[in-house]
Amino acid sequence: MKYAENILETIGNTPLVKINRLTKELPCLVLAKYETFNPGNSTKDRMAVKMIEDAEADGRLKPGGTIIEGTSGNTGMGLALAAIVKGYKCVFVISDKQSKEKMDILRAVGAEVVVCPTDVEPTDPRSYYSVSKRLAEETPNSWYVNQYDNPSNALAHYESTGPEIWEQTDGKITHFVVGVGTGGTISGVGKYLKEQNPDIKIWGIDTYGSVFKKYHETGVFDEKEIYPYVTEGIGEDILPKNVDFSIIDGFTKVTDKDAAIYTQRLAKEEGMFLGNSAGAAIKGVLQLKEHFTKEDVVVVLFHDHGSRYVAKMFNDDWMRKMGYKD
């Protein structure tokens, strides 16, 4: 009989799926690394389990402990699944711009959820960075994950996602495109792919209101680039240690409106019911058209599932209210 011993053994080995209609104007083959096939419906399952296993191995996470993390939702889901299997409690701090579905899903898998304001400085005691750290200091037998600076995040993608993409494309991949938040996916996958073939181009998708693109191009952390934005899961107002800018060839920025519209288009034209960052990612691929030739194989990674955005990007009333739809 073939079966997994627990749900964590089903993580990884997600399919590559050709994108057809939305990319018909591009000369190249575009393939989606479809990460919603992970049990927590996102790519974050990979690094969540890796971070927990590494913390167990070196004693940071002890039996019966409490896992504390600031999350936009998906990392929390992966951590929660692992915590259930391994016997830990979870407290997740989430910003109020994240969808209600994400908060409800985290509670559904047994986590305690603390909601913080989005529009405050990272150093503000109310920010989800600050609240996460404070709760970790105050909670006995707890472990603060810190996915932004935790090296196990990028290592998970170096060990699993990168090798899968290389094998699935038979080494023919020429470009890897992915939204950048904590930086673990782009840095881990990018490092592995460039070790196999240094000519592979690694492109990050950024959003307006985030510092990544300008910092990569100029080395300047410009606080004027920072302002509130709607797109979830990508962009930052800090520089996480997991973002290895030396591996990234370039960034392209996608507007909140385009990200939302293309999230709907992926569902309606490709049958791909995906999250908000996937809309940003595929629009970013289209914006990079001039970089592709007919021989190229472009892999774009889609992070999470559309079920977490039903009240937002898949709700036409919300889209009209935001000015994204007539």
Annotated catalytic sites, by residue? 44
How far apart are alpha carbons 277 and 260 in whole angstroms?
9
* CA dist list (Å): 94 to 89, 127, 277, 287: 16, 9, 17, 31
How far apart are alpha carbons 66 and 13 in whole angstroms?
29
Q: What SS3 state is found at 182?
A: coil
R_g of the chain, CA atoms, integer Å: 19
List of E strands, the chain: 16-18, 29-34, 66-70, 89-95, 112-116, 142-144, 175-179, 201-207, 250-254, 297-302
Question: How many Cα atoms occupy the beta-carbon half-sphere of 201 within 13 Å?
Answer: 16
Q: What SS3 state is found at 125?
A: coil
Identify whether the C-beta of residue 260 lies closer than 8 Å to the C-beta of residue 229. Answer: no
Identify whether the C-beta of residue 308 lies closer than 8 Å to the C-beta of residue 101. Answer: yes
* Neighbour tally for 314: CB within 10 Å: 19
Backbone angles phi, psi at 41, to 5 degrees: 65, 25
* Neighbour tally for 58: CB within 10 Å: 7
Nearest CA to 185 among 214, 211, 165, 170?
165
Q: Which sign, positive or negative, has the C-alpha torsion 172, 175, 177, 182? A: positive
Q: Which two tokens stand for residue 184?
A: 């673990």
Nearest CA to 311 among 116, 105, 111?
105
